[in-house]
Structure 1
Amino acid sequence: MKYLIVGLGNIGPEYADTRHNIGFMVADELVKEAQASYSTLKYAFYSEFKLRGRTVYVVKPTTFMNLSGKAVNYWMHELRIPLQNILVIVDDLALPFGSIRIKPKGSAAGHNGLKSIEALCGGQQYPRLRFGIGDSYPKGRQIDYVLGPFDKEEQLELPGLIQHAVGAVKNFVSVGIELTMTNFNK
């Protein structure tokens, strides 16, 4: 069994610790725990490792968020991984900070990275882990909020929350989407 884990974010130091890059942060922790490392390959930072007898591929698209589908489409076909074995990790304004929701499919909900994946990978039929970043920004300041850093209190909680999300990813690989939803969507 093969799985493709996709952490969404933007490359470059100016985006490193922003809310929009939580997908990268979760992917980085997953790779670190597996004692693996990244290579820079076509359209992505790429890593692979074994987890409970399964091969796990992790990619962080280097295409920038709005073109994430280009990287996902390439790696999905290159590695011959079916859509149901792909898990996309993405930030979500509609969820309270730190909460996660795992779904087997769904809409892009206005998220440009997910829109790109939908357009280039055949629709909405792929699993995703939505990581809540909250929505405490003034009207008209959404972009600044999403591309801004987590506040001091959030930064203190972040390591444990990222750890929780990594647990959900490992659960997805080990037992599948349905049980992972039961175990983590609280």
Structure 2
Amino acid sequence: MKFLLVGLGNIGPEYALTRHNAGFMVLDRLAAQNDFSFSMTRLAYTAKWQHKGKQLFFVKPTTYMNLSGKAVSYYMKQENIPIENILIITDDKDLPFGKLRLKPKGSPGGHNGLKNIDDILGTQEYARLRVGIGNNFSKGRQVDFVLGQFPEDELIQLPDYLDRAGGAALSFCTMGIQMAMNNYNQ
């Protein structure tokens, strides 16, 4: 059985540790802990890894956040992966830092990366793992906040948080969405 796990983010060193790159960070953490690496391919950095009898295909789109749907659609077709085996991992400013929310479907909730995926796939019927980044910004400063770096106190907690998010993603593939939701949604 094959799964497509897509971490959303923006490419380039200036975005590497920003809140908006939480999806990339989750996949990078999984790669570092499980000895697989990403290669530059069409529209994305990609990696493959076998886990508990499942073939996992990881994608970090190079299209920038707002055009993520192009890479999702391409690899979904290229790897012949059904929509029920796709998990999009993204930041969420409406969840506090440290909270995870795994859902089988849903609206983009103002997230431009998810909006683009919805538009290109023509559906909202795909699983998503939302990684809370908080919303500690003043009116009109949302862009600066999501494209800003994590503060020191959150950076200290970030490895454990990314581990939990990675665990949720792997549970989606091995145990199914319901069991993963029961174990990881708080």
TM category (shorter chain) comes to over 0.9
Q: SS state of the match for residue 165, structure 2?
A: helix
TM-score by length of 2: 0.99
Q: Which residue of 1 aligns with 2:50?
A: 50
Percent of residue pairs identical: 53
Q: Which residue of 1 aligns with 2:91?
A: 91
State the distance in 1 between where 2:172 and 2:31 align.
Answer: 15
Q: Give the aligned residue type for 1:170.
A: L
Runs of 5+ unmatched residues, structure 2:
none
State the distance in 1 between where 2:185 and 2:54 align.
Answer: 24
RMSD: 0.6
State the distance in 2 between where 1:121 and 1:73 align.
Answer: 7
Q: Give the aligned residue type for 2:53.
A: G
Aligned residues: 186
Instruction: Give the alignment of 1:3-152 within 5 angstroms.
Output: 3-152=3-152
State the distance in 2 between where 1:119 and 1:98 align.
Answer: 29
State the distance in 1 between where 2:61 and 2:178 align.
Answer: 26
CA shift, 1:31, in A, is 1.7
CA shift, 1:33, in A, is 2.1
State the distance in 1 between where 2:78 and 2:121 align.
Answer: 13
Alpha-carbon displacement from aligned partner over 1:53-91 (angstroms, at most 9, x marks no partner): 110000000000000000000000000101110000000
CA shift, 1:182, in A, is 0.7
State the distance in 2 between where 1:32 and 1:171 align.
Answer: 18
CA contact (8 A) 1:137 1:145 kept: yes
Q: SS state of the match for residue 137, structure 2?
A: coil
CA contact (8 A) 1:31 1:58 kept: no
1:163 matched to 2:172? The reply is no
State the distance in 2 between where 1:138 and 1:185 align.
Answer: 28
Q: SS state of the match for residue 59, structure 2?
A: strand
Q: Give the aligned residue type for 2:176.
A: G
